[in-house]
Amino acid sequence: MIRYTLMCDKDHDFEGWFPGIEACDKQLSAGLVSCPDCNSTKVRKALMAPAVATKKQDSAMDKRQVAMAAQQAVMAKLREHVENNFEHVGDRFPEEARRIHYGETEKRDIYGEASVEEARELVEEGVEIAPLPGPTRTDA
């Protein structure tokens, strides 16, 4: 596992863990890495100093890295499943979710965008929603 310091086009820096150099480069070029501050997918590797660790630290770090990589893979698979099998309703998500919840339209699996306030209102109304992990789809 390799840890990189990453930076988005708005100069927010954060770290990311990858199984190797090729995986990092591939995910960055495909826009699969997003900034946790602004959700931008225009992300690049930042300059960083090498870290030297002891064997004991390496072992603990390896376990954390493997766990983090596994978690990221599960989240990516979940997002891929939703994007491939659910109807994308874009910014109409709050309205469509309500219509489905109140039986005004057929029940179906949807996904889209909602502000934090809109999501809070849906939850308060009892509409079952969940956030979708990972960067927002740009080709839909």
Model pLDDT, residue 76 = 86
- The 3-class SS string of 50-78 reads CCCCCHHHHHHHHHHHHHHHHHHHHHHHH
Taking the model in full, what pTM does it have? 0.53
- How far is residue 138's CA from residue 20's CA, in Å, rounded to a whole number? 25
- Token pair, residue 81, equals 């499943």
**How confident is the prediction for the chain on average, in pLDDT?**
87
* Ranges of each domain in the chain: 2-48+64-83, 86-124
User: pLDDT of 32-77, one tens digit each?
Assistant: 999 988 989 999 998 766 666 566 666 666 788 888 888 888 888 8
